[in-house]
Structure 1
Amino acid sequence: TIDDTARIFHTLMTEFLGYSTYAVHGTDWVSAVAYSLYSSFKTTVLAAHFVFLPFVSPSVEEITANTITLSDIQKVTEQRVIEFNAIGNGYLIEQSTKPNDIGLALYNNPVGQLGWIGANIKLWSDSRVGSLPSVLDNTAIVTSVSLDHLTDSFLSSVWIYAQNANTFKTVYTKAPTNVPLLFRQYEYNVSLWPEEYVAKVGNLVS
């Protein structure tokens, strides 16, 4: 589980690497691991930085209803959210409900894995991919996908969706710690958390 992974990371940091304190950073699924560390190990985790949260982001309609004013960067993200919800979340449904189907179909298929993972990397990234100032190019995408293929880990990697179906919470709760939480809204993200929502889950500092 996510909490088990956090516990193992904590043991690695404190018992094997010898750190008495440390900071955490998380995005996407690792945001859930980082938040578990932030919530559970408040004497050793001295700061947490996120660009993604393990809480379901508010809908565009909810943000509007709460009269939340978005920055220019957040307005870009809002459009990304709309596009993702319309055409970008098919992989999420497949991996959450039938991980073996896609996992076995693409298990020994490097071109298939490149198509499946690479398309999502491009979807979630700077739309200027391949040209400056974006540092993402085809080499970076192939390198990332190769990690799954060459380690035979594609099948196991998609299972995180099915095994942790309730990780991203719909009810916002505040972590039992006063440790500083920093949040950076990534412009090209496919989820949007205004400051008013981030402040609900931790000791948000700016």
Structure 2
Amino acid sequence: MNADTALTPFRIDIPQADLDELRHRLAQTRWPLPVPGRDDRTDFSRGIPLPYLRDLAEYWRDGFDWRAQEAKLNEHEQFTTVVDGQTFHVVHARSADPDATPLLLSNGWPASFVEYERLIPLLTEEFHVVIPSLPGLGFSTPLSATGWDLARTTEAYAEIMTRLGYERFAAHGTDVGSGITGRLAATHPERVIGTHLGADRVWLGLVGDKFPAPGDLSDEELAQLAAAHAASAAERGYLGMHNHRPDTIGPALTDSPVGQLAWIVEKFKRRTDGGYRMPEVDRDQLLTNVSVSWFTRSGASVAQFYYESEHSELDFAMASGVPSGWAVFDAHPLIRRTMDPWRAIGHWSEFAEGGHFPAMEEPELLAGDLRAFFRSVS
């Protein structure tokens, strides 16, 4: 780690020229020619439908108020700090209670720290909330070098908590953030009070890949798992590009705001029973997330994180000695059957609501589960 451990106060202040350029680029979008019969704005079977995308782009250009969203984000204390040569952006929402438990929140992509915006005020009565951004995502840019994978990022997050004076802390993660949370407990078990993971049925696509499948699944369960794998395969096109060709997709995401809008927003469509439903997230929060990525040019750089992690020998890890809790949204019976076949996880909650972004979709449910779990292990 580097010798400079300074925490530099930070406020988001996007130049007006950047806002004007975004509106100009959106106005000059070169749209695809419509395909006859593809005019249903709710049909995401081939990706994001053009009528839906055009409506959202028009709102982003003429209706969305970035300055209002920027002011809301700046209500929280923020700082940057350099770890191992890389600048990290961190939100630090302190509780009024000086003895509150430090809680590290880790997110993945296509979300950003904006994912936790609605969750923060629901937690600060009991927690000092800390939200770092992945290297190359949001204001943790530009990338300082290659090699920023999941394992290296985990060590950087641990260092950030040290710099804040938090020797012991709780940890929660979703998406890639779940991998960081698990590795923190595995590599720093003496520091982690407990880990809490936000999951959904998308995780079934990882069974047999990142996680071993139980050997005693019934024929019906195997059929359900095969269907989940098929659904996951249809959703993994972006992952192939991020994991193996980030330099190819990067320029398009940096040069075209509508291209980046389609790339990100399509990932917010949750899969349910083999179909799609519209994202249960606030439109302005969704566009704030997209805007952060656009203004920081991190559509390209965050893809490098995926490449580095895919080609690293170190990947997901869990610590059996650290208390663990799971909150599963858009729940499916196979998730616990495959992820916790021995019922070893003491705190397991399932919700029919929500999906892959519970802090955006169901912040009250997630906050309640976080409070209940960490009260039980503190």
Q: Same fold (TM over 0.5)?
A: yes
Structure 2 counterpart of 1:12, one-letter code = I
Q: Does 1:129 align with 2:278?
A: yes
Decide whether the 8 Å contact of 2:214 with 2:338 is kept in 1.
no
Q: Whose relative contact order is higher, 1 or 2, with alpha carbons under 8 Å and at least 6 apart?
A: 1
Decide whether the 8 Å contact of 1:95 with 1:158 is kept in 2.
yes
State the match for 2:241 in structure 1: 94
SS at match of 1:51: strand
Structure 2 counterpart of 1:150, one-letter code = F
Structure with greater proportional helix content: 1
State the match for 2:70 in structure 1: none
| CA distances 1:24-62 after superposition (whole Å, capped 9, x unpaired) | 111111111111101011111010011247x93248xx5
**C-alpha distance 32-12 of structure 1, shift in aligned 2 (>3 A):** same
Q: Does 1:11 align with 2:159?
A: yes
State the match for 1:182 in structure 2: 325
Q: 1:40-119 residue pairs with structure 2 within 5 A?
A: 40-52=187-199, 56-58=206-208, 66-67=217-218, 82-85=230-233, 87-119=234-266
Decide whether the 8 Å contact of 2:183 with 2:317 is kept in 1.
no
Q: CA RMSD in A?
A: 3.6
What TM-score do you get using the length of structure 2 for normalisation? 0.42
Q: 1:133-148 residue pairs with structure 2 within 5 A?
A: 134=280, 136-148=281-293
Structure 1 gaps, min length 5 = none
**C-alpha distance 147-102 of structure 1, shift in aligned 2 (>3 A):** same
Decide whether the 8 Å contact of 1:129 with 1:137 is kept in 2.
no
SS at match of 1:101: helix
SS at match of 1:42: coil
Distance 1:139 1:118 in 2: 12
Shift of residue 67 of structure 1? 3.1
Distance 1:168 1:146 in 2: 33
| CA distances 1:156-191 after superposition (whole Å, capped 9, x unpaired) | 111122111157999x9752x4111111222179xx
Distance 1:188 1:114 in 2: 28
**C-alpha distance 150-27 of structure 1, shift in aligned 2 (>3 A):** same
**C-alpha distance 173-160 of structure 1, shift in aligned 2 (>3 A):** closer
Distance 1:84 1:98 in 2: 20
Kindly, what percent of the aligned residue pairs are identical? 24
Decide whether the 8 Å contact of 2:158 with 2:184 is kept in 1.
yes
Q: How many residues align?
A: 187
Decide whether the 8 Å contact of 2:151 with 2:314 is kept in 1.
no
State the match for 1:159 in structure 2: 304
Decide whether the 8 Å contact of 2:169 with 2:193 is kept in 1.
yes
Decide whether the 8 Å contact of 2:214 with 2:341 is kept in 1.
no
**C-alpha distance 124-18 of structure 1, shift in aligned 2 (>3 A):** farther
1:20 to 156, 167, 189: 167
Shift of residue 141 of structure 1? 2.0
What TM-score do you get using the length of structure 1 for normalisation? 0.73
Structure 1 counterpart of 2:232, one-letter code = F
Decide whether the 8 Å contact of 1:58 with 1:193 is kept in 2.
no
SS at match of 1:18: coil
Decide whether the 8 Å contact of 1:122 with 1:129 is kept in 2.
yes
Structure 2 counterpart of 1:115, one-letter code = A
SS at match of 1:164: helix
